[in-house]
Amino acid sequence: MLSALVLGLAYASAYSMLALAVVLIYSGTRVLSLAVGEIGAFGLYAGLWSHDNGLLGVRPPVFAAALVAMLIGGVLGLVVERLVMRPLLGRPALDSLVATLAVALFLALLELKLYGLDPFPAPSPVGDGSVEIGGATLTVTEMTLLGLAAVVALGLWLFLTRTSFGLATRATTSDPTVARLLGVPVNRVYVFSWGVAGLLSGAAAALLANLTGSLTPFSLTSALLSALAGAVIGGLDSLGGAVVGSLAVGLVNGIVGSRVDPTTSAGVIFVAVLVVLVVRPRGLLGSARVAA
């Protein structure tokens, strides 16, 4: 039971980062981004490839792959905002949604072209060690993931509540037009949100690949679907909701997935999404505007 719980929590950590990326973008721009999975995956491919093949004659250690994933993910986020999303500001939500899907597909197909369909090995930077606690085996990787996700969520929370630009971000989330009228440079907030979302995406890619041991094209987009489920359950414009929803989804994955089977757990999750959409469309912690 304990090991299923920890495995679930480890997945929840990765999902929560993707869900935070989704919520960060959604709450500023009302755009549901389907690209925030593949953006990080693309970065991680580059990181793992340079670990395998060396870069400028040096072979970066495997933990550097995660940093590269975050870096490239962040830059990709900025590029996508500037080149694709900015011109679509003010257009119907469906246009932007389709655009983010196109970005995800483009990146996944590029990964396929560059690295092939075979799973790309993603060794854990903290090794394959494990510890016994109360008869349950917990891997060092899982526990590192939990710690990292907690640090990331805490960092994001501190940024949003303790810094001036964080306040500007929340003001933009609450009402972009009013924020502009008060002097908040909302375009800079949008760029920044996409950048941070890309960073989170890279971190999530690294975490998930370490859990499964490998990376394939579309694997992060499929994880994004679980994260989206978490975000919808938690409330699409609530960062706290993203974490809570992802925890729920991760735990169901871990417990039902290992006790019964993965298909059942996916079924349970998406029935939960439907129930939320019908009964409380704004999600557990979302604001009323989500449902509007």
Partner 1 sequence: MTLLEVRDLCSGYGSLQVLFGVSLEVGEGEVVALMGSNGAGKTTTLRTVTGLLRAMSGTVHLDGRPVTGTTPERLVSAGVVMVPEGRGMLRDLTVAENLAVGAYSVTDKLQVGASLDRVYATFPILHERREQKAGTLSGGQQQMLALGRALMASPRLMLVDEASLGLSPVMTERAFSLIAEVNRTLGVAVLIVEQNVLALDLADRAYVLEKGQVVASAEGDAVRTMQGRLRTAYLGTAV
Buried b (16+ CB within 10 A) or exposed e, 177-192: eebeeeebebeebbbb
Neighbours of 70 (CB within 10 A): 23
The residue (of 110 and 289) whose beta carbon lies closer to partner 1 is 289
Q: State the nearest-atom distance from the C-beta of 29 to partner 1, in Å.
A: 16
Q: State the nearest-atom distance from the C-beta of 170 to partner 1, in Å.
A: 6
CA atoms within 13 A on the CB side of 221: 20
The residue (of 179 and 231) whose beta carbon lies closer to partner 1 is 179
Amino acid present at 71:
L
Task: Look up tokens 């899907």; give the residue.
Answer: 101
Q: How far is CA 272 from CA 222, 238, 240, in A?
A: 18, 18, 18
In angstroms, the CA 237 to CA 28 distance is 9
The residue (of 239 and 247) whose beta carbon lies closer to partner 1 is 239
| Partners of residue 214 on adjacent β-strands | 121
φ and ψ of 195, to 5 deg:
-60, -50
Q: State the nearest-atom distance from the C-beta of 89 to partner 1, in Å.
A: 13
Q: State the nearest-atom distance from the C-beta of 156 to partner 1, in Å.
A: 16
The residue (of 167 and 277) whose beta carbon lies closer to partner 1 is 167
In angstroms, the CA 55 to CA 36 distance is 26
Q: State the nearest-atom distance from the C-beta of 179 to partner 1, in Å.
A: 7
Contacting positions for partner 1 (CB under 8 A): 164, 167-168, 170-171, 173-175, 177-186, 287
Q: State the nearest-atom distance from the C-beta of 82 to partner 1, in Å.
A: 17
The residue (of 204 and 239) whose beta carbon lies closer to partner 1 is 239
The residue (of 125 and 240) whose beta carbon lies closer to partner 1 is 240
Q: State the nearest-atom distance from the C-beta of 117 to partner 1, in Å.
A: 45
The residue (of 184 and 199) whose beta carbon lies closer to partner 1 is 184
